[in-house]
Structure 1
Amino acid sequence: MGLIGNLLELVFGGGRNVVRETAEVFRENAEAGAKRDAEAQERALDQLAKEFSDREKGRFDRVMDGVNRMPRPAMAFGILLLFTLSMTDPVWFASRMQGLSLVPEPLWWLLGAIVSFYFGARHQFVGQEFQRSIAQSLARVPQVVENNRALQTLATQTNGVAKTDSEQSFELGAIVASNNPALEEWRRLTKL
């Protein structure tokens, strides 16, 4: 038992587990990995909490944060208000739109640039993607028109029925006269 005891003490003794330590070289210890992940998430949440803590910000910073959050909801609610006003008071709405029609085009371009810069390059990117998709659709129009013409020509040639080869041979068999004794007998009797 002394040799086995020494061998076991060599492998597992002294608070160490050589088998586990060797296995951890090739595969992560799941419990230790989960502990590291939890600690990293806790540190990230602490950093986020410090970033948005209002204790460190002054009154001016809080007011500016509020002002920066207002334009998008204000624009969305403004558009909904315009739709509502156009239905409730069309004359008032039409007179305001007549006023907007007098705004010079360069001023509209300036407003578009300000809105684009405010909301970032995403606005421009989405607009360019939309224009690209419209251009691709328009480029396919001649091909679609030609395909429709070919389909209409095909439909008029077949009288609206597409026939397979086997259907065509049945139809030809029905059209071609054959020697039918019963039919011949009926024709002979009806001519009397």
Structure 2
Amino acid sequence: MGMIDTALALVFGDGRNVVRDTVEVFRANAEKTAGRDATAREQAMVQFGAEFAVPRKGRFDRFMDGLNRLPRPALALGTLGLFITAMVDPVWFASRMQGVSLVPEPLWWLLGVIVSFYFGARHQVKTQDFQRSIARTIAQTPTVMRHIKELETLRVDGVEEGALRDLEGVSSAVRDRSDNAALADWRRVAG
């Protein structure tokens, strides 16, 4: 037993773990790292809690807190509203966007800078690309309006019954002229 005790004392020393101490030189102790991380998280939470521990005293503070929360939802809902408006009344939408296209470029730059600083690290190029896309969309308005008029003429509500019968005759003539042999066999069997 004495020889084993001597060998273990040589490796592990006087109550210290020489192997563990040597490995910790090359690799961090996972348990101690987890403890340090937990302490850092706890300190961050204490700091965040202290930040909100001061009660908001006046109406102005509450108003400013509400105002700071308003721009993002307003922009999101406003954009959705623009999409809905473009579908409901394209002419009204196009005329409003025509007005937007008349905004001078320096004002777009100013708006871009304000929005960039507010939302953080946005690039001015995005604003200019947005302006170009609006111009492209407005340029497509006459084509879209022409397509809408063509679609309106295709509504069944405005078609007379005689025209519908003529269309039925055309469809039966087309059905009878089919060159598909398998379809012709199926029609004979079906009946």
Normalising by the smaller structure, the TM-score range is: 0.3 to 0.5
Structure number with greater Rg is 1
Report which structure shows greater RCO (CA 8 Å, sep ≥6).
Answer: 2
Give the structure-2-normalised TM-score: 0.46
Give the structure-1-normalised TM-score: 0.45
